[in-house]
Structure 1
Amino acid sequence: MSGFPAVRPRRLRVNPAVRRLVGETRLHPAELVLPVFVREGLSEPHPISSMPGVYQHTRESLRKAAAEAAGLGLGGIMLFGVPAGKDAVGSGATDPQGILNQAVADVRAEVGDDLVVMADLCLDEFTDHGHCGVLTPDGRVDNDATLVRYADMGVALAEAGVHMVGPSGMMDGQVAVVRQALDGKGFQDVSVLAYSAKYASAFYGPFREAVDSSLEGDRRTYQQDPANGEEGLREIEQDLAEGADIVMVKPAMSYLDVVARAVDRFGVPVAAYQISGEYAMIEAAAANGWIDRERAIHESLLSIRRAGASIILTYWATEVATSLRSH
């Protein structure tokens, strides 16, 4: 009958099989990285109240989580240490017997090269003031003094067996100094996943609980202004020039435009971190019956992949990988 449309896009949405056939974006376990917290002195895993289903691990439960992640074919595991004691310069970050370095060694012993073992390279979990670097006498973060600590921390993590370090403190020159320190000690094969465009976001709140943060004040003098997209691209460009192997945008949800622009401009692997606040919002809304939890999780991850990120750090990595394997 004339007048009816010849072109009907709905034909390709008619049933699940057709939708699956023409789907443009897919998730795969190898693209997912599981962030985990390991806390010194725990006898059993400790639940994080603001992140239902996420725990501070013991060293033993961490090994089990890593083994599960490797068995599911995840791309990697990102380790965060929660020490029993802190000081002004974050000494625990470079102590070979510190919790993070021990955790790296534990996980490498458990999974070998079957899973990319990553570690957060920053001082905030280890400082009594909670900032990502060393402070000046008047309380400002001293960029260059902090770089010295980052270089030492990178080497300590490499000596513990890490595959990839993640400089996340947003200090100027952090990638260059870490790369130089690693190369100078013979760790040319240790990769750098740079937290290049890390924004001073309001969505980090639950993470503060996860790492028992001691933060005083805020981090707006070194993390990026949420208003600025082009600045994030300049940061990425600088990190690549300094030797970054992979760059990251953090958070993911509110910065998908930065992810997409980075992918289009630089042609390198771009990671995105689906952070604690993103996780907590979906879990809270689902717990109240306001949204379909499984669909919301899947949709949120698809949006990050659709923006172009080839690596996603997400606290749902194990759950989603299990779901993907069962379908």
Structure 2
Amino acid sequence: MELQFSRHRRLRSSASMRSLVRENHLRTEDFIYPLFILEGEKKRNEVASMPGVYQISMDYLQKEMDEIVSLGIKSVILFGVPTEKDECGGGAFHDHGIVQEATRFIKERFPEIIVVADTCLCEYTSHGHCGVVQGDRVLNDESLDLLARTAVSQAKAGADIIAPSNMMDGFVAAIRAGLDEAGFEEVPIMSYAVKYSSAFYGPFRDAADSTPQFGDRKTYQMDPANRMEAFREAESDVAEGADFLIVKPGMPYLDIVRDMKNTFNLPVVTYNVSGEYSMVKAAAQNGWIDEKKIVMEMLVGMKRAGADLIITYHAKDAARWLKEE
């Protein structure tokens, strides 16, 4: 009996053949590496829930950046961990705040590195929320001016990209207007356009010391059950002037990454968040998985879903593994 069927295995017959027809590729240039900058001196604290990730003071930044550059990583995103906090998060928009100082340091010594400044208040507020608080409410419109002031101070310090993560309505419009009025029309906005209220952020809150002191962020971050809401959020940010769209978290929301890539003609960024990182690290430390293979499969999955760029704590390891290939 003569069978009629396709010979798909022809294109999988050897490593060279598989490489020849591979559809998606990881590059070190795709990665944005997060850095947590502490105020003070001689501080390099490993985050207990994120093995291999450190909070560092400015005097360790030169060594950290030397390693990042040597690995071929082209971009970093900065988060500040201040020693003092207040009700309005004043440290976020202080001209000599920790992110502003770290930005100046990097741009003076490593001008070719793209510095992305996370633009939020939660690390700087005593209550841990991303905006102005009145009683148990996070006030939307009253928060916008502070976010715009933060973005302008970061741009003045030399940030190449402003990345607002607060999820207040109108935050892109307010920041775009603030930047333009201050003469920073050329500074792009990498909006956390689609940011879900996720349990995967837990370890990050240890790293950034940004756990809310009351309630949660469900009134401003998105419900994980919703898909169509992502289109509404992204459409608003595009109309308000966003230049990049971030989907956060990564792995549980790859359908949303594909939606964004199919719908908008802007670079799409996936944030491979702390909980995803920590689960892989914990399993690897227990010998349950092959860390390199798992990480590279996760990252290429994000690329396949439509991510142009990936914010990931795995960036340094992945860069080393790519050099070995």
So what's the TM-score if we normalise by structure 2?
Answer: 0.97
Aligned to 1:229: 227
Aligned to 2:242: 244
How far did 1:65 drift?
2.4
Aligned to 1:215: 212
How far did 1:326 drift?
2.4
Residue type of the alignment partner of 1:87: D
Provide the rounded CA distance (Å) in 2 between the counterparts of 1:282 and 1:185.
43
**5-14 or 118-127, which moves further after superposition?**
5-14
Aligned to 2:140: 143
Provide the rounded CA distance (Å) in 2 between the counterparts of 1:67 and 1:110.
10
How far did 1:72 drift?
3.1
Aligned to 2:200: 203
Percent identity over paired residues: 45
Aligned to 1:156: 153
Provide the rounded CA distance (Å) in 1 between the counterparts of 2:173 and 2:67.
34
Q: Is the 8 A contact 2:45 2:55 kept in 1?
A: yes
How far did 1:75 drift?
3.7
1:286 to 266, 284, 287: 284
Q: Is the 8 A contact 2:42 2:60 kept in 1?
A: no
Provide the rounded CA distance (Å) in 2 between the counterparts of 1:290 and 1:318.
22
Q: Is the 8 A contact 1:90 1:127 kept in 2?
A: yes
Provide the rounded CA distance (Å) in 2 between the counterparts of 1:20 and 1:167.
38
Aligned to 1:18: 17
Aligned counterparts, 1:72-91, within 5 A: 72-91=71-90
Residue type of the alignment partner of 1:59: M
So what's the TM-score if we normalise by structure 1?
Answer: 0.96
When the two chains are superposed, the root-mean-square deviation of aligned CA atoms in Å is 1.3
Q: Is the 8 A contact 1:203 1:276 kept in 2?
A: yes
Aligned to 1:93: 92
How far did 1:110 drift?
2.0
Q: 2:262 aligned with 1:267, yes or no? A: no
How far did 1:63 drift?
3.0
How far did 1:6 drift?
5.3
Aligned to 2:35: 36
Aligned to 1:50: 49
Q: Is the 8 A contact 2:144 2:171 kept in 1?
A: yes
Q: Is the 8 A contact 1:67 1:110 kept in 2?
A: no
Provide the rounded CA distance (Å) in 2 between the counterparts of 1:27 and 1:249.
18
Provide the rounded CA distance (Å) in 2 between the counterparts of 1:233 and 1:280.
29
SS class of match (1:322): helix
Provide the rounded CA distance (Å) in 2 between the counterparts of 1:119 and 1:94.
12
How far did 1:4 drift?
5.1
SS class of match (2:148): helix
Structure 2 unaligned spans of 5+: none
**181-190 or 8-17, which moves further after superposition?**
8-17
Cα pair distance change 1:3/1:65, threshold 3 Å = farther
Q: Is the 8 A contact 1:48 1:55 kept in 2?
A: yes
Q: 2:163 aligned with 1:166, yes or no? A: yes
Q: 2:15 aligned with 1:8, yes or no? A: no
How far did 1:189 drift?
1.5
Provide the rounded CA distance (Å) in 2 between the counterparts of 1:61 and 1:13.
46
**36-45 or 292-301, which moves further after superposition?**
36-45
Q: 2:166 aligned with 1:132, yes or no? A: no
Q: 2:311 aligned with 1:313, yes or no? A: yes
How many residue pairs get matched?
A: 324
Aligned counterparts, 1:184-203, within 5 A: 184-203=181-200
Provide the rounded CA distance (Å) in 2 between the counterparts of 1:240 and 1:306.
23
Residue type of the alignment partner of 2:146: R
Q: 2:57 aligned with 1:65, yes or no? A: no
**254-263 or 70-79, which moves further after superposition?**
70-79
Q: Is the 8 A contact 1:34 1:76 kept in 2?
A: yes
Provide the rounded CA distance (Å) in 1 between the counterparts of 2:31 and 2:121.
25
**77-86 or 54-63, which moves further after superposition?**
54-63
How far did 1:247 drift?
0.7
How far did 1:70 drift?
3.2
How far did 1:5 drift?
5.6
